[in-house]
């Protein structure tokens, strides 16, 4: 968890490569549903455009379907979910049924000025979804994806417009940040300073995850 633009998506993609487990980003899943025009997507679009949370019923439906897929058997990274108490409690029930408790909840801390800078520079590839930033990794002018055939031009997210970002930050403070106390009480919360460079944040995150009891048990067993 962390505010918009704190680097959750960027770091999750790196953890996918490092640990070989999938990233489950509710933001990406919802944007995919909007792009495909599914029933969930049509219902989610208005809330996303307004910087509000999408209805729990939709998000939980999407998460339930995703967690049923086989690639989650050896673990998964939840990115941007849960975002309120109702979602956290529903997740706890789902994982209890699956017998897969959370190993940790990582909170990314970044100050407001850095968040605004990161979001204003964010661009993503419409084909592969990879996230870039014109301030730190300029990808040409106009910026293009260097990973995909045909090098498609990078695009800016519709909800990265200034007024919508301000609303997303308010929603984060009011509804999501309080979950930090909820997970602290369960002994699951780990906080990292995510204002450093992408590589340094990855180093801090991997060190933290490697130190978790669940990870050490896996290493001892192998």
Residues that bind ligand AP5 (CB under 6 A): 2, 4-10, 26-27, 30, 47-48, 51-54, 59, 80-83, 87, 118, 121-122, 131-133, 136, 159, 168, 197-198, 201
122 a catalytic residue: yes
168 a catalytic residue: yes
The total number of residues written for the chain in this structure:
222
Under 8 Å between Cβ of 82 and 88: yes
Q: CB nearest ligand AP5: which residue?
A: 27
Least distance CB 75 / ligand AP5 (angstroms): 19
Task: Return the number of the residue (90 or 213) whose C-beta is nearest ligand AP5.
Answer: 90
Task: Return the number of the residue (86 or 189) whose C-beta is nearest ligand AP5.
Answer: 86
Least distance CB 8 / ligand AP5 (angstroms): 4
Task: Return the number of the residue (109 or 216) whose C-beta is nearest ligand AP5.
Answer: 109
From 8, 45, 118, 123, the catalytic residue: 8
Helical ranges in the chain per DSSP H: 8-19, 26-36, 39-49, 56-67, 85-98, 112-121, 162-171, 179-185, 198-210, 213-221
Torsions phi, psi of 78, nearest 5? -90, 125
Instruction: Please give the distance of CA 140 from its chain centroid, rounded to a whole number.
Output: 26
Least distance CB 178 / ligand AP5 (angstroms): 14
Long-range contacts of 31-38 (CB under 8 A, 24+ apart): 33/62
Closest to 67 (Cα-Cα) out of 47, 51, 84, 82: 82
CA 83-169-80 angle, to 5 degrees, is 30
Task: Return the number of the residue (42 or 214) whose C-beta is nearest ligand AP5.
Answer: 42
From 31, 66, 118, 122, the catalytic residue: 122
From 157, 167, 204, 215, the catalytic residue: 157
Q: How far apart are the C-alpha atoms of 35 and 45, rounded to whole Å?
A: 10
83 a catalytic residue: yes
117 a catalytic residue: no
Active-site residue numbers? 8, 83, 122, 157, 168
């Amino acid at each position: 968890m962390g505010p918009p633009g704190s680097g959750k998506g960027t770091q999750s993609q790196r953890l996918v490569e490092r640990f070989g487990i999938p990233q489950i980003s509710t933001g990406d899943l919802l944007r995919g549903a909007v792009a495909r025009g599914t029933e969930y997507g049509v219902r989610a679009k208005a809330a996303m455009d307004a910087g509000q949370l999408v209805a729990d019923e939709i998000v939980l439906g999407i998460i339930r379907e995703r967690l049923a897929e086989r690639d989650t058997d050896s673990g998964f990274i939840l990115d941007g979910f849960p975002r309120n108490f109702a979602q956290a409690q529903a997740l706890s029930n789902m994982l209890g049924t699956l017998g897969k408790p959370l190993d940790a909840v990582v909170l990314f801390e970044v100050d407001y000025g850095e968040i605004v800078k990161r979001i204003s520079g964010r661009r993503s590839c419409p084909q592969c979804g990879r996230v870039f930033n014109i301030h730190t990794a300029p990808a040409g002018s106009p910026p293009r994806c260097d990973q995909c055939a045909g090098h498609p031009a990078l695009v800016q997210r519709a909800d990265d417009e200034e007024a919508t970002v301000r609303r997303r930050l308010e929603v984060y403070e009011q509804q999501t940040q309080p979950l930090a106390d909820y997970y602290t009480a369960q002994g699951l919360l780990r906080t990292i300073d995510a204002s450093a460079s992408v590589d340094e944040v990855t180093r801090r995150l991997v060190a933290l995850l490697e130190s978790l009891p669940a990870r050490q048990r896996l290493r001892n067993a192998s």
